[in-house]
Amino acid sequence: MGRPKEHGAQTRAALLTAAAEILHAEGAQAVSVRRVAAVVGTSTRAVYSLFDDKEGLLRELSMDVAETMRRHHEAVPSMDDPIDEILELALAYRAAAREKPQLYDLFFAMVSPRADRADPLFALVYRSFERVLTVVRRAVAAGVFPGRDEFSVGRHLFALVHGLASLELRGVLGDAPTAVNVWRQSVGATLVGLQQPPAPGGRADGAPAAT
């Protein structure tokens, strides 16, 4: 009973690709519900039927970056030296950010401690982090990062790659060959530092010292 849905999977896909094209070509602020609907040739109503609202549409788009992140991260092969593997994973983060520069901010906006674990988008984002944690965990077990745990190292690396990505996407790191060297040197130096025991005065996991 009732009129059957017209806005099905293909309209949904068309809206997403249209939104992605506009976003890729002109940036996030150029994406409007009316415009996306007009490109597809449907009404704004379709957006509100298929996604809840504009945020839902953008949220679906950020699945795109999250998937790009996952792809690059899981494409990194296992290596004998976990240090080499972590460096490659950092460069995978860079590659994903450069592949979807306009979506990168959307991706990082998903990072939140209050994220719902059952949310498929969060789960997808977490897979990339988990890929890194796997190696780090192995390295910690092997005594590569004395006095540190996997989360401490993971957080540090996350902060660094996000900072590097932010700077590069703003053009601060120069052209691509220069930028990749900055990444190599920065991540490399960080990994060297992490292999030394942490300075006293605070626990390595970030919790305050139990005095």
Partner DNA sequence: CACAATACCGGGACACTGTTACGTTACGCC
Partner DNA sequence: GGCGTAACGTAACAGTGTCCCGGTATTGTG
Q: Which residues in this chain contact DNA in the complex, by CB under 7 A?
A: 1-7, 31-35, 42-46, 48-49, 53-55
User: Please, which residues have CB within 8 angstroms of residue 190's CB and are 6 or more apart in sequence?
Assistant: 156, 157, 160
* DSSP letter, residue 110: T
Which of 3, 4, 201, 211 lies at the binding interface for a second copy (CB under 8 A)?
A: 201
Could you give the string, one character per residue 127-166, with x where binding to a second copy holds by CB under 8 A and - elsewhere?
A: ---------------------x---x--xx-xxxxxxx-x
- Which span sits near a second copy by CB under 8 A: 10-18, 69-77, 89-97, 176-184? 176-184
Shortest Å distance, C-beta 106 to DNA? 14
Which of 80, 143, 170, 210 lies at the binding interface for a second copy (CB under 8 A)?
A: 170
| Contact of residue 132 among DNA, a second copy, none (CB under 5-8 Å per partner type) | none
Shortest Å distance, C-beta 52 to DNA? 8
Query: In a 10 Å sphere around its CB, with 0-12 CB exposed, 13-18 middle and 19+ buried, how is residue 74 labelled?
Result: middle
- Interaction between residue 11 and a second copy (CB under 8 A): no
What is the per-residue DSSP string for 34-98?
Answer: HHHHHHHTS-HHHHHHHSSSHHHHHHHHHHHHHHHHHHHHHTSPP-SSHHHHHHHHHHHHHHHHH
**Cβ closest to a second copy, residue 2 vs residue 171:** 171
- Interaction between residue 45 and a second copy (CB under 8 A): no
For residues 50-69, one letter each, b for 16 or more C-beta atoms within 10 angstroms of the residue's C-beta and e for the rest, the string is bbeebeebbbbbbbbbbbbb
Number of neighbouring beta carbons within 10 Å of residue 209: 8
Residues 192, 174: Cα–Cα separation, whole Å:
25
| Contact of residue 4 among DNA, a second copy, none (CB under 5-8 Å per partner type) | DNA
Number of neighbouring beta carbons within 10 Å of residue 120: 10
Residues engaged in binding a second copy (CB under 8 A)? 108, 111-114, 148, 152, 155-156, 158-164, 166-167, 170-174, 177-179, 181-182, 184-186, 188-194, 196, 198-199, 201-204, 206-209
